[in-house]
Structure 1
Amino acid sequence: MLLLVMRHGHAEPFSKSDETRALTEEGRKEVAAVCEQRASELAQVKTIWASPFVRTRQTAKIVAETFEREVEIQEVLTGDTPLDELLDALADADEDLFPLLLVSHQPLVGSLVNGLCGTGDEHPMGTSSIACLSADVWARDCAELEWLQHKP
């Protein structure tokens, strides 16, 4: 199975709350550029899950509109979710949802990629970074990093 993990695009530094921070124009362009560079891989995605925060919903919407998909909001994708809680959600997910794209925040995206691959903090996840992992089961140290794309 394939799992793609994406960090939201560059967001405005301040808002009423962290949850309401929106993408900047630069962030929108970065996400669109990553979609263009990884078009063949992203076209295979069957399901998109996004954090409920504004900037992740906006990031996921750019991907979804580009590849004619729907976005499902998942509370488990907020940045401070314990990694084991997300791993449980992935383990419970039906195989028909894969390839699955998750759009979330730091530190969760970095913890997920590195935790699944058993790589400590070897693979940084900057804004608009996207990683593709393959595994038979979604558990710590059980995945292989297929590729990692940073913003252009």
Structure 2
Amino acid sequence: MLLFVMRHGHAEPLRKSDETRALTDEGRAEVAAVCRQRASELAQVKTIWASPFVRTRQTAKIVAETFDLPVEIQEFLTSETPVDVVLDALMAADAQRFPLMLVSHQPLVGTLVNGLCGSGDEHPMGTASLACISSEIWARDCAELEWLQHRP
């Protein structure tokens, strides 16, 4: 099964709350560029799960509109969520939902990618970075990083 993990695009500076930070024009352009560069791979995605924060919902919407996909807001996909919570959700998800895409934040996306692949902190996840991971079981050290695309 394939899992795509994306960090949101570049967002505006923190003002009132982290949850309400929106993408900048640069962030929107980053996400759109990554979608163009990985269009053939992303065309496989069946469902997008996104964090409830504004910038991740906006990122997911760009991907969803590009590939005509549904977006499901998942309250657990915030930056400080323990990786095991995400792994449990992935294991509980119906196999028919894969390839699945997660859109979230650091440090969660980096910890998830590196934890699944057993790679320490080898694979950085900058804004609009997109990882493709394959596995038959969603557990630590049980997946293979197929590729990692950073923003142009």
Q: Aligned runs of 1:1-152 on 2, under 5 Å?
A: 1-152=1-152
| CA apart distance, 1:16 | 1.7
Taking only aligned residues, the RMSD between alpha carbons, in angstroms, comes to: 0.5
| CA apart distance, 1:126 | 0.1
Q: How many angstroms apart in 2 are the aligned matches of 1:67 and 1:85?
A: 27
Deviates more, 1:112-121 or 1:14-23: 14-23
Misfit runs of 4+, over 3 Å: none
TM-score by length of 1: 0.99
SS at match of 1:3: strand
**Identical amino acids, percent of aligned pairs:** 80
Q: How many angstroms apart in 2 are the aligned matches of 1:107 and 1:41?
A: 24
Q: How many angstroms apart in 2 are the aligned matches of 1:54 and 1:29?
A: 16
Q: How many angstroms apart in 2 are the aligned matches of 1:133 and 1:30?
A: 21
Query: Where does structure 2 lack aligned partners over 5 or more consecutive residues?
Result: none
| CA apart distance, 1:14 | 2.2
Q: How many angstroms apart in 2 are the aligned matches of 1:133 and 1:17?
A: 32
| CA apart distance, 1:76 | 1.4
* Aligned length in residues: 152
Q: How many angstroms apart in 2 are the aligned matches of 1:29 and 1:82?
A: 30
| CA apart distance, 1:48 | 0.3
| CA apart distance, 1:112 | 0.3
| CA apart distance, 1:97 | 0.5
SS at match of 1:102: strand
TM-score by length of 2: 0.99
| CA apart distance, 1:15 | 2.8
Query: Where does structure 1 lack aligned partners over 5 or more consecutive residues?
Result: none
Deviations along 1:8-32, whole A, 9 cap, x unmatched?
0000012320000000000000000
